[in-house]
Amino acid sequence: MEAKAFYAPENRTFKRLSGAMERCIHKTDRCHAQGWRFAASLANRASMDVPAKPRNHLYLVDGSAYIFRAYHRLPPLTNPQGVPVGAVYGYTTMLWKLAEDLHAADGPTHLAVILDKGSVTFRNELYDAYKANRPPPPEDLVPQFPLIRDATRAFSLACIEEAGLEADDLIASYTRAAAAQGWDVTIVSSDKDLMQLVGEYPGGGRVDMLDTMKNQRVFIPEVVDKFGVPPEKVGDVLALMGDAVDNVPGIRGIGPKTATKLIQENGDLETALANAPAMKAGKLRESLIEQADMARLSRKLIALKDDCALPIPLDDFTLGPIPPDPLAAFLGEHGFTSLLRKLGTRETAAPAARTTGAPAPAAPTAPETGNRQPLPEWPAIDTAAYPCVQDEADLEEWIARAQAAGLVAVDTETSALDAVGADLVGISLATGPGAACYIPLGHGNTTDMFAERPRQIDKARALALLKPLLEDDSVLKVGQNIKYDLTVLARHGIAVAPIDDTMVMSFCLDAGRGEPMPFGHGMDELAERHLGHTTIKFKDVAGTGKKAISFAEVPLPDATRYAAEDAEVTWRLHAVLAPRLAEEGGTRIYQRVDRPLVQVIATMEGHGIKVDRERLATLSGEFATRIAALESVIHEKAGTTFTIGSPKQLGEVLFDKLGYKGGKKGKSGQYSTDQSVLETLASQGAEVATLVLEWRQLSKLKSTYTDALQAAINPATGRVHTSYSLVGAQTGRLSSNDPNLQNIPVRTEIGRQIRDAFVAEPGHVLLSADYSQIELRLAAHIADVPALREAFAHGEDIHARTAMELFGEVNRDTRGRAKTINFAILYGISRWGLATRLGTSADEAQAMIDRYFERFPGIQRYIHETLEHVRDRGYSETLFGRKTWFPRIASKTQAERAGSERAAINAPIQGTCADIIKRAMARMTPALVEAGLGHVRMLLQVHDELVFELPESDVAAASAVIERVMATAAEPAVKLSVPLGVEIGTGPSWGAAH
């Protein structure tokens, strides 16, 4: 306990599940390349889909087609290793040009590269000669294909390829999907087949094409120009013409001119074929009649399949910041020096530029584990070399460097762990590998009046200099658990933005991964795993236990090594994780859900909630009296004095000394004395058991709540400030700690008194808004269960409806059983579990499960499909694309496997619920502000509940806004087939608001 108060925030240890699982926190970064400064502001812009956003514009790059053209048009360049890279160079310059268009008003907001997978497709089944006459690609083009993927990755862009589908079909499918939602689409290709897709779409989207080589836009007039017909008739023209390259037969003797003329005159292919017999006799008439079937086949071959399943959702193509380092590494590796020069500027240029010509390393990624090795161009981390910034001129230089880079990793050091109470001791910055510094600001400010105070810049002055950088829209601030730094800096009047958080990025990529235990997302662990680097530990500079010192007392050389390293590590982690988000489909959940939440949570934590200390103290006293009374009675009945709180001693007293039956020992050889055991004993007339149960309840309430909460009141604010973890729960839920405000009692009358101690300020009230039955509603939607959907649509009592379906009648008993079964479903059912809960035999439980599946057939299908998906891909997904990994789904150990299966069934439902309330939270403040309710404060989140504090007079107006934001939180990304019910209550205390 005493050590805790001295931990630096970045080493903060949260979890105590089993062993100490670290959940770390940190920050770092760096960058260069003035040409890329748009990245930071772009990252900011992409964060939420509410309120107003710029019109979405999706660019789909036909990568495979491009590479062939580039190969033939460019000279045969080779890279320093002698590998031919001419086509790759062409491709790279094309991506570069597109990236430059990001500035333009109609530039891309989303972008994906589509590649051919080079496999057999459905067209080969239609016509086995399809594309059969293609010559093999030239020998010096073959090695360039994989490099296309590298180039794409270097830009951190999404790349799609799917076996059994041609790039054209994927492009058509994405085009249709995007245009239907009203997005604009630009297809970057010159393939005439794709011209079929050009036009205005019913959803409001506008689709055009871009030929980057000719720098030419193709819209309806250009298509008509080329084919003489509008886009929707292009397929008919092509079917008559055929296509020599793809070996589409068409009709022999008909070329572009004749084909166009025939379609213009007849309107479409079928009419043209039907009218053929009426044409004037001749070769054309005969060909049309004879080869009509060939034309029809050709039409099918040319038709684009626009209903393919989209392997990656559109939202994942959101353009985020393009980290310069992977790009610099790639350009350097292949000797693309002119682009490299454009990218890198002055001494902060990517080190990759200096190592051009180094042998290309083996593929560094290990996607199956989520690990990635450091980019080889980086020098090893040298903690001895960091400068300690002690005068203003140096600080200004670092600020300028960060400004030029457009991306800076930031880490704050404080005197204690508590973000709301701790003092700022120093700030570290990093702008690249080997480019990090530490700025001490509060060293020597200790209680030791003889301590030397080292030379450092005045804190207020330094913060004034840093403020413009930290608030600059065009500079991305990267942190490891940057929520902590936001909170600390907010107290100094600095509103840090825009931000990225490597801890949250790691969570969006790797939640649940790792064996035998899931990986943590703390900095030390991430550094070890992704960078192969062992960080300096906080205890190495500050000591541990009673001898630990505050960071303010750490000598500057040690503090500098430690703090600047954290910033540099964070910077490197960002360079590793940012491209992975794009590659692995994590962008959508990160950019649209979790990243916007970081600031929201920081603000909530900063508010805290008022707790009535007197009331808690009174409760503590009452509980203590009752506990003491119970204790003596228990000892008397037991005939011995023992520690009631010791399960070991209690078990021995109950089962050995008093001789009660039903003692079962676990694998540790100890009797179980948990609630269910004691209740059984109590029902058999064991009064001691009843007394112990009451004793347990009261001591739990006293120690965990009435005592601990008083101690948690922040002396400066008079309120309790919990800390939420965004990476605590594998499903995407938040967790709350220090103290945990998500498990305040509510289920029993005596426990609920504790909620009455959570109060509003005078003249204010607390407002509690919670989603009603949200998990069951989402199950009804996700599993597509008509009976449940209907019940929710009509506002029925869902458990009663289930009882009716299962038992044919509704009464207290059947409704209760139905409720149990409904929950069992959400948790991944087993007949034994259900039998235990219902107090029936496993056979009866099984019969009920069967009946449930029969009445609600979607459920069984959902379970089956979810497990297939997880076994196949390793992870489950929520409706919003959040992945949770289940590496033990194929474990040889039955229990492990079964446990993973149950968790996997639950995760999409629990996780979607978490996504929805997170979206609601991210939109809440803007919505309240818009309604003139900017002073309404959101204080707490308890999984399906939000708690606000507001003036009593604003209750009606605020309730309307809150209800609307919560009920519509899934939209527009997901259209739910069930309504989301929100229940709102208000009162002077949390207890009264329920």
Partner DNA sequence: CTACTCACG
Partner DNA sequence: GACGTACGTGAGTAGC
Residues 658-677 that bind DNA (CB under 7 A): 666-668, 670, 672-675, 677
Q: Which of residues 42-61 bind DNA (CB under 7 A)?
A: none
State which of residues 109, 736, 768, 773 lies at the interface with DNA (CB under 7 A): 736
Q: Which helix (H) or strand (E) holds 58?
A: strand 57-62
Q: Are 230 and 220 in contact (CB under 8 A)?
A: yes
Q: Does 779 bind DNA (CB under 7 A)?
A: no
Least CB distance from residue 129 to DNA, whole Å?
A: 51
Helix intervals (H) in 363-428 = 392-405
Residue 902 binds DNA (CB under 7 A)? yes
Q: Judged by CB under 7 A, how many residues of this single chain contact DNA?
A: 79
Check binding of 772 to DNA (CB under 7 A).
no
Residue 438, phi then psi, degrees to nearest 5: -125, 135
- Residue 888 or 937: the one with the smaller Cβ distance to DNA is 888
Contact 553, 446 (CB under 8 A): yes
631 binds DNA (CB under 7 A): no
Rounded CA-CA distance 969/667 in Å is 46
| Sequence-ordered list of residues with C-beta below 8 angstroms from that of 219, at least 6 positions apart, any chain | 198, 206, 208, 209
Long-range contacts of 390-394 (CB under 8 A, 24+ apart): 390/440, 390/454, 390/455, 390/456, 390/457, 391/457, 392/457, 392/461, 392/462, 392/465, 394/437
Query: Which residues make Cβ contacts (< 8 Å) with residue 648, sequence separation at least 6?
Result: 670, 671
Q: Quick one: residue 610, left, alpha or beta (phi over 0 = left, psi -120 to 50 = alpha)?
A: beta
- Contact set for DNA, span 581-610 (CB under 7 A): none
Strands (E), 101-249: 110-114, 158-160, 184-188, 199-200, 206-211, 216-218
The contacts of residue 674 (CB under 8 Å, 6+ apart) are none
Q: How far is the CB of 665 from DNA (least distance, A)?
A: 9
With contacts defined by CB under 7 A, name the span among 144-152, 211-219, 644-652, 965-973 that binds DNA.
Answer: 644-652
Q: Which of residues 830-869 bind DNA (CB under 7 A)?
A: 830, 832-834, 836-837
Q: What's the closest the beta carbon of residue 751 comes to DNA, in angstroms?
A: 5
In the set 325, 411, 553, 944, which binds DNA (CB under 7 A)?
944
Q: Which amino acid is at 177?
A: A
Q: Closest separation between CB of residue 370 and DNA, Å?
A: 16
- Which residue from 181, 154, 166, 177 is spatially nearest to 62, judged by alpha carbons? 166
Which of 160, 470, 488, 678 contacts DNA by CB under 7 A? 678
Does residue number 18 form part of the binding site for DNA (CB under 7 A)?
yes
Nearer to DNA, 463 or 542 (CB): 542
Report 337-356 residues binding DNA (CB under 7 A): none
> Of the two residues 378 and 771, which places its CB atom closer to DNA in the complex?
771
Which of 242, 324, 370, 745 is in the footprint of DNA by CB under 7 A?
Answer: 745
Long-range pairs of 691-694 with CB within 8 A, sequence gap ≥ 24: 691/630, 691/633, 691/634, 691/637, 692/634, 692/644, 692/650, 694/630
Site residues for DNA, window 793-822 (CB under 7 A)? Answer: 820-821
Q: Which of 245, 289, 708, 847 binds DNA (CB under 7 A)?
A: 708
78 binds DNA (CB under 7 A): no
Residues in the chain, how many?
994
Q: How far is CA 422 from CA 183, 438, 442, in A?
A: 47, 19, 11
- Neighbour tally for 715: CB within 10 Å: 6
Q: What is the DSSP letter of 196?
A: G
* Chain mean position to CA 660: 52
Residue range at the interface with DNA (CB under 7 A); choices 153-161, 420-428, 732-740, 782-790: 732-740
* Window 167-186: residues binding DNA (CB under 7 A): none
Residue 539 binding DNA, by CB under 7 A: no
729 binds DNA (CB under 7 A): yes
C-beta closer to DNA: residue 178 or 824:
824
Q: Does residue 733 interact with DNA by CB under 7 A?
A: yes
Which one-letter DSSP state was computed for residue 555? -
2, 17, 75, 628: residue in contact with DNA (rule CB under 7 A): 17
Tell me the closest approach of the beta carbon of residue 380 to DNA, in angstroms. Answer: 29
With CB under 7 A as the contact rule, the residue among 402, 782, 829, 938 that binds DNA is 829
Nearer to DNA, 215 or 668 (CB): 668
- Using CB under 7 A as the binding rule, whether residue 823 contacts DNA is answered as yes
The answer to whether 439 and 567 have CB atoms below 8 angstroms apart is no
Q: How far is the CB of 409 from DNA (least distance, A)?
A: 25
Residue 48 CA to residue 31 CA, distance in Å, equals: 25
Q: Exposed, middle or buried, 23 (CB in 10 Å: 0-12/13-18/19+)? A: buried
Cα-Cα-Cα-Cα torsion 870, 875, 878, 880, nearest 10 degrees, comes to: -130
DSSP for 712-765, please give it: HB-TTTSEE--EEESSSSTTS--EEESS--S----SSHHHHHHHTTEEPPTTEE
Stretch that binds DNA, among 11-19, 384-392, 577-585, 787-795 (CB under 7 A): 11-19
Distance CA 660, CA 642 (A): 17
Residue choice 943, 962, 976, 980 for contact with DNA (CB under 7 A):
943
Among 133, 534, 684, 743, binds DNA (CB under 7 A): 743
Our CB check for DNA shows the closer of 584 and 901 to be 901
Stretch 446-485: interaction string toward DNA, x if CB under 7 A: ----------------------------------------
Question: Is residue 417 a contact residue for DNA (CB under 7 A)?
Answer: no
Find the part of the chain contacting DNA (CB under 7 A) among 127-135, 230-238, 408-416, 721-729.
721-729
Do residues 228 and 264 make contact, with C-beta atoms less than 8 angstroms apart?
A: yes
Per the CB < 8 A criterion, the answer to whether 442 and 412 are in contact is: no
Q: Which of 373, 649, 680, 714 binds DNA (CB under 7 A)?
A: 649
Judged by CB under 7 A, the residue of 74, 83, 693, 927 near DNA is 693
Q: Which of 80, 311, 645, 987 binds DNA (CB under 7 A)?
A: 645
Select the span of 126-134, 233-241, 304-312, 826-834 touching DNA (CB under 7 A). Answer: 826-834
Q: Does 249 bind DNA (CB under 7 A)?
A: no
The binder of DNA chosen from 271, 383, 680, 697 (CB under 7 A): 697
R_g (Cα) of the chain, nearest Å: 32
Q: Hey, what amino acid is at 358? A: A
Q: Can you spell out the DSSP letters for 109-131?
A: SEEEEE-------HHHHH-TTTT
243 sits near DNA (criterion: CB under 7 A): no
Please say whether the beta carbons of 322 and 587 come within 8 A: no
Question: Does 749 contact DNA by CB under 7 A?
Answer: no
Q: Out of 19, 359, 516, 685, name the contact with DNA by CB under 7 A.
A: 19
Report if residue 11 touches DNA, rule: CB under 7 A.
no
With CB under 7 A as the contact rule, the residue among 56, 196, 550, 735 that binds DNA is 735
Looking at the Cβ atoms of 18 and 215, the one nearer to DNA is 18
Region near DNA per CB under 7 A, out of 324-332, 475-483, 736-744, 957-965: 736-744
CB nearer to DNA: give 149 or 719: 719
> What single DSSP character describes residue 529?
I
Q: What are phi and psi of 883, to 5 degrees?
A: -95, 140
- In sign, the C-alpha dihedral spanning 958, 960, 966, 969 is negative
Q: Which of 33, 276, 907, 921 binds DNA (CB under 7 A)?
A: 907
- Residue 730 near DNA by CB under 7 A: yes
748 binds DNA (CB under 7 A): yes
